[in-house]
Structure 1
Amino acid sequence: MKASKVIAIGVMPQAKLRERVLAIARGDYRPQARDPKIWFTSMKVAADVLSDENRALLRTIAETQPASIAALAAETGKKASRVSRTLHTLSRYGLVDLWPSGTSLRPVAKGATYRIVVRESGPPMN
């Protein structure tokens, strides 16, 4: 397996995330390159989305580069409907891209290594 991109994931309460977005919009804060691009509003949500099972699925995608959701389901031994549901959730959070490929979707993991940053307050993020 080739080296994967490290995905920065942040955890910050919803109100503080809102403050951060507004500070960016006002020009009071400029996000740094190392700042997370994916944010969760609680550790519980992050833990649910980044469960052991979902991380294993992301690793399988990165390693096997399946041509479709059905191929990924066959590789993992899971039902395609369940894999599809999980992939759509991971896609909403920006962890997976689902690219059209003929009449199906091809899952592409954006990374298989993560750096998690937990913040209790908004900017600045150094």
Structure 2
Amino acid sequence: MEQTKEHKERNKGGRPKKEATEKLKYRIAVKMTAADYFRLLTRSHEAGVSPSEYMRECFRNGHVKERLSEEHAGYIRQLCGMANNFNQLARKANAGGFHDERWDCKVAVARIHELITKIGI
């Protein structure tokens, strides 16, 4: 008897159940013109989300944020790599003197500035 009780309490694995506030259980039908429908499809495609998710975001926030493009994601990866290089330069400068690493730091700052302008921040 005790063995079956332990068996029932054991974790079965898998994804945890969603709470009632997280479940998408209500469905609403919306009628729209062909122009509105294709505008919805175009905008949701540009944002990189499904039309349903686009509508939910519009309802929640009044606008939809566009996902990062592959190009911008590449720029951000490059920035992360440059930040690592910049930390290494700072470590060298602290160990050996700031004058020796001045030129490398200027080059790194110029590259970071160039990437930030490409991203559009």
Q: Could you state the TM-score of these two structures normalised by the residue count of structure 1?
A: 0.27
Q: Could you state the TM-score of these two structures normalised by the residue count of structure 2?
A: 0.27
Larger Rg: 2
Higher helix proportion (structure 1 or 2)? 2
